[in-house]
Structure 1
Amino acid sequence: MGTRGLVGIENLGCTCYLAAVVQCIAHCPTLITLLMRSSMTGPVTDALKELCVAKWAVHATSAVSPEAMVRALRGYKGSCIDYDNQNDSHEFLVELMTAIEGEVGAPRSSVVEQGTSSRPGSLRVLLQRMASHWDATVTANQCPLTQAMYGQFVFLTQCQECKHVTQSFDVFSSLPVLFDETATTASVQQHADQVWASSESIEGYQCDHCNNKSLARRECKISRMPDVLVVHAMRFADGDRKMTKDLHAEHEIDVSAAQLQVGPRCDRELYRLRGMVCHRGMSRHGGHYYAVCKCTSMKNWVGFDDDAVTMMEDRSGVRKGDPYLLIYERSS
């Protein structure tokens, strides 16, 4: 194909999982802009940049090879993936981002700040702790890609005896969509409205304030949303068994219900779908991965199946049981 970016990636034998992820990165404006404009360098980072440059070259007409990237990843000392075999695309994306982040230099902190919100000024304290945790775990790593793709959870646990509230935080790189075995389909928007904004009762909670074991209520909210949201369809259960339930992947989702509200009700927080890593077959480490991406230069969706590139008017050609990783970009 002669249009820039509409170039496939060769399969070196069992690298379809890698090609599908790279295609989604290359066709997400936020990620490709950050990658190409950054000064980040290192074997894995440079190989990813070179692969994307080759894909977007003006005169590129044939599939490009990921050989240099695979070689760089094999040399990554923290690798837990066997690059001679088929792998899971989500596991690969996590390893790729970890490798790039590691090449920037600063190690990730595992600090989880805790504190109390049962006193005056608690909102200010909560916001300060949120910012402190984010700075320690994400900002300090100086990696623009992971800063764009990571979000932050806040967990608020209230003892029902003394009403003391403990705050804790965690970083996430993707949000899950769980499949109900009894339901015929799952919806990303439904998870944003109900599941990602979850709360639960905890029996026998040991309160660190009154020191009593009592009932507690724990609420999980998203305190910081990423610019690029990765949604992970949890299709594989019992080790490797795939659930082929339909996934309703809305073109646009509103995640405001899952966010922590620290003032007046915020406006809608909208994300638009930019790409999907899809999976055909019944095994996590088998079957075949391919990508479907929204082309930035036209209204069409494009299918990338290794070296094959197919123009699509919409996503209707994708089987509803195939979407596995969904790449959403903040609309604003």
Structure 2
Amino acid sequence: MPQRAAAKPTLSGFTDTSSASTTQALISKSKSAGQHMTGLNNPHNWCYANSLIQSLRLSPGFGGELANKDWDKLYVLPRKSDEKSDHPRLMARIIANLFYWMAEGSFPVMKAQTLMDYSLSLCNANSVQQFGSARQQDASEFMTWLMDALHQETNTKRDKEGQEKYDSPDMRNNKSLIQGASEWWNKYSVANQSIIDRYWRGVQAQVVTCTKCNNKTLSWTPVDTIMLHIDSPKLQTLEQCLSLNSNEEVLDGYQCDNCHSNSRAMKAVYYPRLPELLCISLSRFSVAEGKVSRNITWNLNKLNMEPYTADHRIPTDRTEHPAPQYEYECYAVIIHAGRDISSGHYFTYARDLTLADSSMWYKLNDSQISKVGRQPEIFGNSNDTPYLAFFRRKQSGSSGGKL
């Protein structure tokens, strides 16, 4: 992978430009390239990584910060108490360099060799799944792994780890889930403030209600991806999948901490804090059933997430706590092509929401890039099925219309 021009070497083996004006000039050149898209070579079974790289690079804000090296200034990494030198942040540097050259537009096709080699070295060192090898891997699992690495390398409060307290907020006095999530996030943020927290991380609330005493037990979890099961043959839209995910589930033999009875309870999942960038994964792979090829559709320009943010039976004081914007627009979809879980191919449909005309979609299939128009045929193919969908919180005047 080429290195940046007019640069000086650093201890990490990567480069930083020595002139701010040179950097800005290159950034301006990149932006003026318009609708240029860079393909990615696939020498082995790297389609899972190529499709994700394309989606992440075109993620508004996130991709731009990394491509423009803003992450290095915005996310200054402190040393932990037992560290004598700065963290090299190799993963973030590698991705930033790759994004930069893909956005710069000098090469029609590139190869993510450095990223894949480094990924494989980390996997070998930690005896985990072999990302970067010649074997096919899962795009969703690679995203989870990559997000964790980027969080670790951009967490400006990493020196505070161990000081945060994740005890559940006091939910008495009809406090809403949205208010509770805000309080929990403030506690989480004591030791967590990364580029992943900034763009991708939301809060999942699990509510378990005892049917005997009506006591509610809440648990809070940071999430980067909303995982949706699509097993039911009745499911046809993404909204139906989200509704099913939030429906109450019966728990038999529940031990209630309040009334101490062994009874039935109802469990429900909500997302009271939504991130700027939203990733939704459709669980299409099952060891027992193979690939679930059910056709799930959605409006590419408008997804309303408000029904899935909170239990609306719990009052919300909208006057003191204004509701956030809940409408999202889709900018990338990773497709899995194939009939089973043991083989297949990944590619991406994507558009650039940072452009004045953001309605043009592209098919990014490894090294092959093609325009597919303003109404891409993403849905309806029994073999080529959406697997990961990427959304941005809608902006005023964006492609889906004003809020």
SS at match of 2:110: coil
Q: Which of the pair has the greater relative contact order for Cα pairs under 8 Å at 6+ separation?
A: 1
Unpaired runs of 5+ residues, structure 1, are none
| 1:329 and 2:392 are equivalent in the alignment | yes
| Matched length | 325
Deviation at 1:12, TM superposition (A): 2.5
Change (3 A) 1:138 1:21: farther
Alignment of 1:153-164 (within 5 A): 153-164=204-215
For 1:19, give the aligned amino acid. N
SS at match of 1:271: strand
Larger radius of gyration: 2
Supply the RMSD in Å over aligned alpha carbons: 2.9
Partner deviation per Cα, 1:56-95 (whole Å, 9 max, x = no partner): 114x242011011112212324472322211110011011
- 1:273 is matched with which residue? 330
For 2:175, give the aligned amino acid. L
Partner deviation per Cα, 1:188-237 (whole Å, 9 max, x = no partner): 12223x22432233333211122122333333221211111111111111
SS at match of 1:86: coil
| 1:23 and 2:54 are equivalent in the alignment | yes
Contact 1:275-1:293 at 8 Å conserved across structures: yes
TM-score (norm 2): 0.72
Change (3 A) 1:12 1:257: same
| 1:302 and 2:362 are equivalent in the alignment | yes
Q: For residues 239 and 78 of structure 1, what CA distance do their matches in structure 2 show?
A: 29
Change (3 A) 1:134 1:293: same
Change (3 A) 1:290 1:139: farther
SS at match of 1:229: strand
- 1:166 is matched with which residue? 217
Contact 2:336-2:346 at 8 Å conserved across structures: yes
Partner deviation per Cα, 1:159-188 (whole Å, 9 max, x = no partner): 2333322222122221233223534x6311
- 1:210 is matched with which residue? 259
| 1:149 and 2:200 are equivalent in the alignment | yes
SS at match of 1:248: coil
Change (3 A) 1:128 1:78: farther
Partner deviation per Cα, 1:234-276 (whole Å, 9 max, x = no partner): 1111268212221213212101101125234958711100101
Q: For residues 139 and 147 of structure 1, what CA distance do their matches in structure 2 show?
A: 14
- 2:94 is matched with which residue? 47
Change (3 A) 1:47 1:133: same
Change (3 A) 1:219 1:110: farther
Contact 2:57-2:64 at 8 Å conserved across structures: no
Q: Of residues 225, 229, 236 in structure 2, which corresponds to 1:178? A: 229
| 1:8 and 2:39 are equivalent in the alignment | yes
For 1:208, give the aligned amino acid. D
Partner deviation per Cα, 1:261-303 (whole Å, 9 max, x = no partner): 5234958711100101111112335211111101333421011
Q: For residues 100 and 351 of structure 2, what CA distance do their matches in structure 1 show?
A: 18
| 1:71 and 2:117 are equivalent in the alignment | yes
Partner deviation per Cα, 1:92-129 (whole Å, 9 max, x = no partner): 10111111112235369997534764x5x3528x7775
- 2:26 is matched with which residue? none
Unpaired runs of 5+ residues, structure 2, are 1-32, 76-87, 396-403
| 1:62 and 2:119 are equivalent in the alignment | no
Identity among equivalent positions (%) equals 18
| Segment of structure 1 superposing worse, 291-300 or 34-43 | 34-43
TM-score (norm 1): 0.86
Contact 1:108-1:141 at 8 Å conserved across structures: no
| 1:221 and 2:270 are equivalent in the alignment | yes
Deviation at 1:11, TM superposition (A): 1.0
Q: For residues 177 and 164 of structure 1, what CA distance do their matches in structure 2 show?
A: 27
Alignment of 1:117-156 (within 5 A): 117=171, 119=172, 121=173, 123=175, 130-137=181-188, 140-156=191-207
